[in-house]
Structure 1
Amino acid sequence: MLEAREITVRYGRQVALDRVSFVVEPGGVTGLGGPSGCGKSTLARVLSLMLRPAAGSVTVDGRPVRRWRQRAARELRTRIALIYQQPRLAVDPRLTVAEIIAEPLAAAGRPGGDRTGELAAEVGLTRDLLTRRPHEVSDGQLQRACVARALSLEPGYLICDEMTTMLDASTQAHLVAVVNAYRDRTGAGVLAITHDDALMGRWADRVIKFDQLIR
């Protein structure tokens, strides 16, 4: 279980989250909806250990998080993967598509060759795209690479923060199917953040509106 308790986040004097609690259960898809600016992405960053809250706690499978970002314990950090809404802001423009997919493997000291090709095929990227850089591929192709990158270390929890917003219908459906297949195979827990109520209804096992989290 990935659990946040009584999370408070401040940006200067602005309170982005105020004593928010949330749980992502293994093996299911939890949907989180709400208007832009309400704090969904901030919560996603806290849950993925990318943002240290001003107050509150996060536990991963019962283990408390003591440090954040690159200082977090590797075994906790690699249990959670975050897929952002805008892939071009989430990648190094100097890397090839293959290098983007293999980033977590390289950081973990694991060879990426065959695994990178398998992940690329899984998300629908052809081999000719792997040597290209971000400016040479479409948004949809780049988001496919970001999904492959997120799955590379087989995380126990996958946080999809508006993952499908910038995609055409066929790419959206394919990537949701990839995430669902991964969940079925591994028992991972998925947090699906989206404005698309129709997609939420098809994808999520349970749906929570952000205003339900506010005291």
Structure 2
Amino acid sequence: MSLNATAITVSYDGRLVLDGVSLSLAPGRTVGLVGPSGVGKSTLARVMAGLLSPLAGQVTRDGVPVETGRGRMAGAVTMLFQSPHRSCSPRQRLGALIAEPWAIAGVPRSDRHERVTALAHEVGLTTDLLGRLPAQVSDGQLQRAALARALASGPDYLICDEATAMLDPISTAAIVAVLRRRAAAGLGVLAISHDTELLDAWADEVVALPALGPERTPGGPAAGA
């Protein structure tokens, strides 16, 4: 039982970003992923979440290939992005934002309300904020709502791509506390961050993604070789 990325290779515009990278995430474990900017951390995250198809390699969830695009296993692997304003509709109130996975699944509105209230309490949002738009709350409050939406889909694995980078220490601590509790209950968490001190204190294991070095092309030698 695990989320496995095996020999992942990705290229953009003929340039290798990832070259045969492998990473494993087990249920109930938090793995921190670090590395210099541009090394491909976010690219690997999108591949593992089924949002991007690799040039080579495969991602499996509990032995089953993770599909990309509309056909992927919705909810099983979910991402929490760095900027909540970019991942949340500016016209969607926080309560509707959190309830979105349940609305898509056809859960009755009356049941959604009760569930939203419970999740809002878990992530530290007061109920008066649920009727507000993203522009009417702080970045920390909006990211808590985005986390609640991610948890509403009932994921087995959650990938956090610099999810606390834009937040103040109080909001960061609150989100990490929620994810720690969820991990203790069996959620697998991949946490990508430049904050190595945070990951050292939070993650069960920290993995460094090395740079490729000289510019490479798919199937070709290092530039200048």
The two structures have a TM-score, normalised by structure 2, of: 0.89
1:77 CA displacement: 2.5
Distance 2:168 2:75 in 1: 29
Kindly indicate whether the alpha-carbon contact (under 8 Å) linking 2:42 and 2:161 is maintained by their aligned counterparts in 1: yes
Q: Which residue of 2 aligns with 1:54?
A: 55
Aligned runs of 1:92-131 on 2, under 5 Å? Answer: 92-111=89-108, 112-131=112-131
Distance 2:212 2:156 in 1: 24
Q: CA RMSD in A?
A: 1.5
Please state whether the residue corresponding to 2:163 is helix, strand or coil.
coil
Distance 1:24 1:100 in 2: 27
Please state whether the residue corresponding to 1:100 is helix, strand or coil.
helix
Please state whether the residue corresponding to 1:77 is helix, strand or coil.
coil
Which of 136-145 and 10-19 deviates more?
10-19
Please state whether the residue corresponding to 2:210 is helix, strand or coil.
helix
Please state whether the residue corresponding to 1:70 is helix, strand or coil.
helix
Kindly indicate whether the alpha-carbon contact (under 8 Å) linking 1:48 and 1:77 is maintained by their aligned counterparts in 2: no
Q: Which residue of 2 aligns with 1:141?
A: 141
Q: Which residue of 2 aligns with 1:11?
A: 12
Q: Which residue of 1 aligns with 2:79?
A: 82
Distance 2:178 2:192 in 1: 16
Distance 1:64 1:141 in 2: 35
Q: Does 1:199 align with 2:198?
A: yes
Please state whether the residue corresponding to 1:211 is helix, strand or coil.
coil
Kindly indicate whether the alpha-carbon contact (under 8 Å) linking 2:80 and 2:150 is maintained by their aligned counterparts in 1: yes
Ranges in structure 2 where 5+ consecutive residues have no aligned partner: 214-225
Larger radius of gyration: 2
Aligned identity (percent) is 49
1:54 CA displacement: 1.5
1:212 CA displacement: 8.4
Distance 1:130 1:47 in 2: 31
Q: Which residue of 2 aligns with 1:68?
A: 68
1:122 CA displacement: 0.8
Amino acid aligned to 1:55: A
Seen in structure 2, the aligned counterparts of structure 1 residues 30 and 213 have a Cα distance that, compared at 3 Å, is farther
Distance 1:77 1:53 in 2: 19
Q: Which residue of 2 aligns with 1:37?
A: 38
Please state whether the residue corresponding to 1:7 is helix, strand or coil.
strand
Distance 2:201 2:15 in 1: 35
1:150 CA displacement: 0.7
Distance 1:82 1:200 in 2: 18
1:69 CA displacement: 2.2
Kindly indicate whether the alpha-carbon contact (under 8 Å) linking 1:49 and 1:77 is maintained by their aligned counterparts in 2: no
Please state whether the residue corresponding to 1:78 is helix, strand or coil.
coil
Distance 2:97 2:74 in 1: 18
Q: Does 1:20 align with 2:21?
A: yes
> Alpha-carbon deviations, 1:164-185, whole Å to 9, x = none?
1111111111110001111112
Kindly indicate whether the alpha-carbon contact (under 8 Å) linking 1:3 and 1:22 is maintained by their aligned counterparts in 2: yes
Ranges in structure 1 where 5+ consecutive residues have no aligned partner: none
Kindly indicate whether the alpha-carbon contact (under 8 Å) linking 1:6 and 1:21 is maintained by their aligned counterparts in 2: yes
The two structures have a TM-score, normalised by structure 1, of: 0.93
